[in-house]
Amino acid sequence: MNAIRDLLHDAAERLSAAGVDSPRLDARILLAQAMGVSRDDLIAAVRQPTEAEAQRYQSLIARRLAREPLAYITGHKGFWTLDLAVGPGALVPRPETETLIEVALSLIPDKTAPLAIADLGAGTGALLAAALTEFSRANGVAFERSEAALPYARRNLEPFGRRAILLAADWETAGREDFDLILSNPPYIASADIAGLAPEVRLFEPHGALDGGLDGLDAYRSLSGLLPRLLRPGGMALLELGQGQAGQVEPLFQKLTVDRVAPDLAGIPRVLVLKKPK
C-alpha cells in the first residue's frame, strides 16, 4: 500500500469534483504541508505519512473543498522573487500585479537609485517589498488601513528594516510628500460584479480590497486628487487596472501626464503609468 499515492488520488478527485482549478497540485502542496516535508521529498516518497499527519491532511483538504484560498491554508504566497506571508483579511497577491514591478524596472533602469517609494493600499506589502528588493538604495512607505492585513504587511516588510515604514492609515491621510515612485493595486471591481467572482475570492478575500464602487472607479477618483501632491516633479505613479478600464481611468488624471498603459503577460492593459511634469 502506498499511502501517499492513495491520499493524493482521493483528495485530487474530491477537489476536482468541488470545482478547484488545480486539484492535483493543490493536493500535493497540502500533503507536503501536513507532513512537514518539501514537495520534492513527497514525490520521492522519502517516508509515508503518520496517522496524525493523514488526519491533518484531511482537515486541510476540507478547508480547500470549502474553497478557502490555498494561500490562506498554507500561510504564504509567492510574489516576484519573494515568499510572502498571507492569510485571512489580506488580499492574496496576484501574478498580474507583478507587472507593476516589471514596468518600474523598465522605467528606472538604475537599481541603485535612492528612490522614495510609496505603496498605497499595501495589503500584504507585496509591491513595496518587491520594489525594495530590486532597488537596493530605495526607501518606502506603505499605507494600509485594514487591521487584518497589517500583521502580514509588517512581517513581509520587516526584513527591510528602516528602509520600510508601515503606516496604519488610509491613503487619504497622506500629507504632502516627495515620492519618486508610487505603486498601487487599488480596489477596482464594480460592486455588482463581486457576486460573480470565484468562491475563493467572493467568500474569503476582503471585499474592501476588491470593491471599487458602483462603476469600479471610486479608488481612482480618490487617487486623482492625491497623486499630484504626493509625487515630486518628474515622479511616476503606476496603478493596476482592471480589464477594459484604461479608457475610463485615464481621463480622471488631468493634473498628471499619461505616459502609457502597459500590458500584463496575457496582453491585457494592466498598468497605467502616470508622470508628474517637472
pLDDT digits (tens, 9 = 90+) for 192-229: 999 999 999 999 999 999 999 999 999 999 999 999 99
Is the per-residue pLDDT at 142 higher than 60?
Answer: yes
Q: What's the predicted TM-score (pTM) here?
A: 0.93
| C-alpha triplet 86, 56, 54: angle, nearest 5° | 135
* Per-residue pLDDT at 2: 62
pLDDT average, residue stretch 179-202: 97
Structure-model confidence comparison of residues 265 and 174, the more confident one: 265
CA-CA distance, 232 to 181, in Å (whole number)? Answer: 9
List, for residues 4-49, the tens digit of each pLDDT value.
899 999 999 999 999 999 999 999 999 999 999 888 778 777 788 9
Cell of residue 168, nine digits: 496604519
Residue 239 forms beta bridges with which residues? Answer: 184, 272
pLDDT average, residue stretch 256-272: 96
In the chain, where does the domain assigned CATH 1.10.8 lie? 3-66
Helix, strand or coil, per DSSP, at residue 189: strand
* Per-residue pLDDT at 278: 87
Is the per-residue pLDDT at 179 higher than 80?
Answer: yes
Residue 183 forms beta bridges with which residues? Answer: 119, 238
Mean of per-residue pLDDT scores for the chain: 95
Q: CATH assignment of 76-275?
A: 3.40.50.150
List, for residues 106-125, the tens digit of each pLDDT value.
999 999 999 999 999 999 99
CATH 1.10.405 given to domain 3-66: no
Lowest-pLDDT choice from 60-64, 168-172, 182-186, 199-203:
168-172
Angle at which helices 150-157 and 126-134 cross, to 10°: 10
* Per-residue pLDDT at 1: 44
In the chain, where does the domain assigned CATH 3.40.50.150 lie? 76-275
CA-CA distance, 106 to 271, in Å (whole number)? Answer: 13
Residues 6+ apart with CB under 8 A from 172: 222, 226
